[in-house]
């Protein structure tokens, strides 16, 4: 695998942020999606803990700073055009604020999931 | 795993788009990150091929429509707050326009990757 520096990141497409995908290093499970500004990326690389930028709170946050569910960052990968990162992590607890191991705990269905099966086209 | 309908998606945070992470269903490798508007999501669910919204070209695109490297979509997961999707796919070829299997083929390093090891603080 080749390497890239911070100067390869493109923060221009998302108003100073890059998209971050968080994947469990050991299980391969995708845990969450968040965003990072340059400081969040620098601190992640320096401390090997997952840092993000919270768009709702408009502040830097370290995953687990409140919940205790920190993420040790084993490796950070960058995509071809420099606007997305992949944090490969070892989580200390659930990634999701709901208590689920991953934020992706629901399957998207094309129809209303509350509708009884076969009831879409009543005769 | 529970299920969710299209009405659980929140397109408001990214101007009508949600973030999409694409993961190889069989290997677990994260292949790429892109965005989808509601039509892209509907078509993905209906046709089981990966559709996205291209922000640069401002149009709907089906992965592989030019390269031939389509992605069969096995499953679509949605995250806790409805603003990110995970497409679990079987790709017919490289995900990346560079020809790499995944767009995440570079490791991010904190320092200039061209600098010799240990040369950061010359004495």
Instruction: Give every CB contact of residue B68 below 8 A, 6+ residues apart in sequence.
Output: B92, B93
Total of domains in chain A: 1
Q: What would the mean pLDDT of B24-28 be, rounded to a whole number?
A: 98
Residue B105 belongs to some domain of the structure: no
Q: Which two tokens stand for residue A45?
A: 């690389």
- Do the domain assignments include residue A60? yes
Task: Say what the pLDDT of residue B111 is.
Answer: 64
Angstroms from A109 CA to nearest CA on chain B: 5
- E-assigned strands of B5-111? 18-24, 30-36, 51-54, 59-62, 71-78, 84-91, 106-108
Is B71 part of any domain?
yes
Integer-rounded Cα Rg, in Å, for chain B is: 17
Query: How do residues A1-19 score in pLDDT, each as one tens digit?
Result: 899 999 999 999 999 999 9
Q: Of A43-57, A70-84, B10-24, B102-116, which range is least confident?
A: B102-116
Give the chain A residue whose CA is nearest to the CA of B41.
Answer: A110
Cβ-based contacts of B106 with chain A (< 8 Å):
1-4, 8, 77-79
Residue at B78 is within a domain: yes
Strand B30-36 relative to strand B51-54, pairing: unpaired
Is B116 inside any structural domain?
no
Residue B64 covered by a domain: yes
The separation between CA B41 and the C-alpha centre of its own chain, rounded to angstroms, equals: 13
Please name which of A33, A84, A94 lies closest in space to residue A64, comparing C-alpha atoms: A94
Alpha carbon distance A15, A4 (integer Å): 22
B32 in any annotated domain: yes
Domain CATH for A27: 3.10.20.810
What is the interface pTM, i.e. ipTM, of the complex? Answer: 0.89
Give the whole-angstrom CA distance, residue B41 versus residue A37.
28
For B63-115, how does the pLDDT look when each residue is reduced to its tens digit (9 = 90+)?
999 989 999 999 999 999 999 999 999 999 999 999 999 999 999 997 654 55
Q: Of the ranges A83-97, A101-115, B31-45, B51-65, which one carries the lowest mean pLDDT score?
A: A101-115
Of B6, B19, B81, the CB nearest to A19: B19
Interface of A with B in 9-28 (CB under 8 A): 9, 13, 19, 21, 23, 28
Give the domain range for residue A39. Answer: 17-91
Q: Over the stretch A35-54, which tens digit does the pLDDT of each residue have? A: 999 999 999 999 999 999 99
Q: What percent of chain B has pLDDT over 70?
A: 89
pTM metric for this prediction: 0.90
Q: Which residues of A touch B33 (CB under 8 A)?
A: 19, 21, 79, 84
Asked whether residue A61 carries a pLDDT value surpassing 70, the answer given is yes
> Is A72 domain-assigned?
yes
């Amino acid at each position: 695998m080749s390497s890239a520096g911070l100067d390869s990141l493109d923060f221009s497409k998302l108003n100073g942020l890059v998209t971050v995908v968080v994947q469990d290093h050991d299980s391969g499970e995708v845990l969450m999606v968040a965003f990072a500004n340059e400081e969040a990326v620098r601190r992640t690389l320096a401390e090997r803990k997952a840092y993000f930028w919270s768009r709702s709170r408009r502040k830097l946050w370290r995953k687990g700073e409140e919940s205790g569910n920190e993420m040790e960052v084993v490796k950070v990968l960058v995509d071809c055009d420099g606007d997305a990162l992949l944090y490969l992590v070892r989580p200390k607890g659930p990634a999701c604020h709901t208590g689920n191991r991953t934020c992706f705990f629901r399957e998207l269905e094309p129809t209303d999931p509350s509708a009884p099966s076969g009831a879409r086209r009543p005769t």
